[in-house]
Amino acid sequence: MSFNFVFFNGDVRRDKKQEAMFRSLVIPNERDNFLNKLKDMEQKREREVKQTDAAKKIQRIWRGHRARNALRLQFRAEFDAISEAQRGTEQIIQMSQLLVNFYETKKDEERLVMLLAELVKSRTADRAFEQRIRDTQRLLLARCCVKFVQQATENTIFFHVFRYLEDYVTCHAHLYEAISQLGLFEAEFHLLEALIGKPENNNIQKMSLTPRHLQLLTRIFEVFVNSSRATPISVKVADRLLKTLCVNITDLNFVNYIMYYIKDHIRLSCPNFSVLFEAIRSADIPNGWKARPEQIETASIRLRSILISFVEHIDKTNADDLVQYFNSLGPFLETHWTITRDLNVKEDLSELGRLRTAINKHLMASCESTLTSMQFRRAACAYALANTSKVSVSTLISLKKYFSQYLDLLASSNSFVEALYGFISSSCRDGHFDTGNQVSPKINALELFCNCLTKRVSSVADSDFDPVAIFVDFDNTVEFLRDTAIKLIHVMYPQLENSAIYTGNSKQKMEKAEAEWKSVTESVFSILSAIYQKDIRIKYFPEGFWTNHGREVLSGLGDQRRLPRRRLPNGRVLTERTMDSEFVERLSAIYEHDSDSENEDENEREENGMLPSALRRAICVMKHIPFIVPFMDRVKLFQRLLNQEHDKHFSENQPRRNSGYNLTVRRDQVYMDAYEAFKPKMVQDKVRDLKSHIIVKMVNWAGMNESGVDGGGIFREFLSELLKDAFNVDRGFFTETEGKLLYPNPTAPYLLGADCLSHFQFIGRMIGKLIYERQLQEVRFAEFFMAQLFETDKDKDMDLQHMKSFDPLIFKNLKVLQKMSEQELDELQLDFSVVTSDVGLVRNVNLKPNGAKQRVTVDNVNEYVRLYVNYHLKQRIATMVAAIRRGISEVISIEWMSMFASHELQILIAGYEEIFTARDLRKHCEMRFAAETLGDRQYEEMFWDVVDALSKEDKMAFLKFVTGCSRAPVDGFKSLNPRMGVLVVHPSEDELPTSATCMNMLRIPRYSNRTKLEEKLRYAINSGAGFELA
């Protein structure tokens, strides 16, 4: 390292002294010693300068102190000389000028009291005397009064001090504001606490006020309780008073004395109350009052207590003051709830800290008690029913739990609901809802709006549905709520930047956010579900409306990223899994039991907490609003759930995995043979075998085994024929509506006897097996039956609209019945009972207890219609529906079906009713020739022309002949496994086409012409001969 000492003129050359110095530094360590010596010298000089400056400052202060003491002694001597002589007005004025220059507490208190007494006496004798005392002189004397009161004890006589302040200072607004800045309120409350003394115990209770206490408090609050001496004050003065009340006063004195005085004496009609009210509203505890963090919570609770205490006399105020009070109450409480919620202060476990905590809880409980009191409810009712233009929406939002009894009235008001939506819309950015904070007014407004809209939607029958009557901008509002629901889910489970999994603090924040946003999200989910359920019945919105949101909501499905292994609290290490497999596994568990329930064990909560944000969002969507996911995406997810169930079953039954279950059935007795094998039994029930691979062997009409070997195709044919027989109305298990829609036959128990429910449970098992194997069955169920079959809410009523598909005439009559007058209903002589005839057995059934003795009137006609619909569509088939549900749930988890609507379940079971085209089938079918010739291309075109020309029934028969199922897969022919194929073999005019349904393969001879091809193909697919044609 080299050192260059340079001159400021830019000359970098060294002189001889520098050269000599640098040569001396060549000695080892000499350079470092030299630099340290320079540094020590510089520090020594700095210390000497500081010491010199400090000495000068001390001397200057001392000289000033000595000079001021000399002046004080001089002024005090002059004051005493004047006071000992005869005192006139001029002498009193001169004494007041002298006192402010030498006053010291504990030395001049008697002189101050004597002077104040003289001033009060002079003003009493001559009111004009007051004008001779300048404002500055009054304020200086008032400051002496403040110092005097700050040193007061329980024996202090304060009459003359407060009398002077009343006569000369507080009667003038500008002087009042000035003295409040100098600590007037702190001194006054210090005096009050000195008079109260040390409490004997820590009991929280109303304490009696002595005359001295009451006199002092009256003087402190005089501008609010004494209209004759109510000096107009500013908000700043009221704010300083509130700060002293909420920050400086000890806890017990505040709760036992001051709060009760405020409750008893300060009313909304008091003078200066509007100023006090404004100060309470605008109080800024953290910044304006500069309160310490540990003081903020107490100050906020005390301020709330003061404002809510005015409710004690709210019934004695006028309408305008009432509206003003309530309009401010809601936003105020929201602000202070936010302040206390966001605090992060360490708990004080000292005796004083525990006492403060107990008092704060007492004050909060007192506030809650006041807000739920009958007095507050009466005032709230008067406010809620006031002119809507004056009512603050934000107040109703903030106090929604206290206004709950009146929100039903408000929900019926179009102007209120529109105002509520306007309030929400005002916070939207570019038409999108800005979530902001979970306790903000707009979030509460959204929750309230959804609850009101849910009530409106639920109270309207499908046949009377009028979107404009529910809400003026119904379509756009539903779209807005749909998009908002997705946004709320993203807020509950935010995307993590550095980690895919919630851990540590991020996990705690997620759990906190989930709990805090739960209420509003459930409200949004509820209204969307209510509208969706109505929409699937009346088909109001266009197709694709619910999924046309442009967002990816199932981002976890198909994601093959690996999740890290995690160790649970019990020591178990989770196996490595992908995002995709974890999503399916957790979704399956959530459908089977609510993972948010209180019964969830620690391990389950731990596993849920380890889920990435994308999976948490996707699971939330599927659990609450699955209908916003495209139908085919839900089908894929459902198939993944089935695959998982397949894998789980095979892993538990590994020894039998390759063997399967062998079943032999007669072709003409498929149903009964299968029933004997899989019917419910107390012992040796074979329901678990339904999840295994079933190998079917068919026996023909002659008692001979058919030649086919089941590779899957024979089983599909078996299951199709079995269910076709079960759903045949001639067998008696099911019957049809006028529209040829199937539902359980209410008379089946009378026709089939004791085994009826066993048969329905068996049919449920077969439907479950159909879904489990992803096979389709050509069947059309009544919607009211489907709505019950997979409904999780057993107490849900059937909608009147369902009666339209059951019996259009009854539906029409019930609609007319609802609109009849009292006289028309009286002429019908209807009661709450119905007459039924089941296989000749006529019964009179009460729709409710003693229903035959209760007449239908205008007041209860809607109840009659509801009970009538429930009886015919629900109660009469309830036991059979329950048996079918029980059978289905023994094969698959019936809760999985909750992700589909009833019409979608119909598609899942029966496929689309639209018949395939040859063009669609050809895209996913491979055609080969056993012997290639030049005419292969023309023969292929001829074959597909023949297929395309088949009738609807023949196309379904063709598909069943080749694949074993008459309907195309829900997700198209591309999902056929193995892929469908056509093999053209050697020419023959006599052979019929054959098929290998297990391979989805059609084997067809090369016929000479189109007529022969069409004839043989039609004959084969309609023969129903099984493998006998082969």
As annotated, the active-site residues are 998
d(CA 801, CA 461): 8
d(CA 235, CA 331): 19
Give the SS3 label for residue 349: coil
CA 466 → CA 534, 595, 738, distances in Å?
12, 38, 28
d(CA 748, CA 755): 10
The one-letter amino acid code at 511 reads: E
Q: Is 747 exposed, middle or buried (0-12, 13-18, 19+ CB in 10 A)?
A: middle
Dihedral sign (CA 260, 261, 265, 266):
negative
In eight-state DSSP terms, residue 278 is: H
Dihedral sign (CA 851, 855, 857, 861):
positive
Neighbours of 494 (CB within 10 A): 15
Q: Is 305 exposed, middle or buried (0-12, 13-18, 19+ CB in 10 A)?
A: buried
Query: Any long-range contacts for 608-612 (C-beta under 8 Å, 24+ apart)?
Result: 609/502, 609/507, 609/510, 609/511, 610/501, 610/502, 610/503, 610/563, 610/566, 610/574, 611/501, 611/502, 611/582, 611/586, 612/496, 612/500, 612/501, 612/502, 612/556, 612/563, 612/579
- What six digits make up the tokens of 498? 């550095």
917 with 798: CB under 8 angstroms? no
| Closest among 942, 966, 959, 953 to 1000, alpha carbons compared | 959
Buried b (16+ CB within 10 A) or exposed e, 187-224: bbbbbbbebbeeeeeeebeeeebeeebeebbebbbbbb
739 with 805: CB under 8 angstroms? yes
CA 901 → CA 537, 553, 627, distances in Å?
10, 18, 8
Rounded to 5 degrees, what angle do the CA atoms 609, 613, 618 make? 105
Q: Which residues contact 793 (CB under 8 A, 6 or more apart)?
A: none
The one-letter amino acid code at 891 reads: V
Q: Are strands 925-929 and 1001-1004 parallel, antiparallel or unpaired?
A: unpaired
Which residue do the tokens 């489907």 mark? Answer: 786
In eight-state DSSP terms, residue 542 is: P
Q: Which residues contact 873 (CB under 8 A, 6 or more apart)?
A: 784, 798, 802, 803, 806
Q: Are strands 833-838 and 841-846 parallel, antiparallel or unpaired?
A: antiparallel
Q: To the nearest 10°, the Cα dihedral for 669, 672, 677, 680?
A: 170
d(CA 976, CA 978): 6
Q: Which residues contact 931 (CB under 8 A, 6 or more apart)?
A: 986
| Closest among 119, 116, 118 to 131, alpha carbons compared | 119
Buried b (16+ CB within 10 A) or exposed e, 635-657: bbbbebbbeebeeebeeeeeeee
Counting every residue written for the chain, the total comes to 1030
d(CA 239, CA 246): 10
169 with 175: CB under 8 angstroms? yes
CA 78 → CA 67, 89, 120, 141, 631, distances in Å?
17, 16, 22, 17, 100
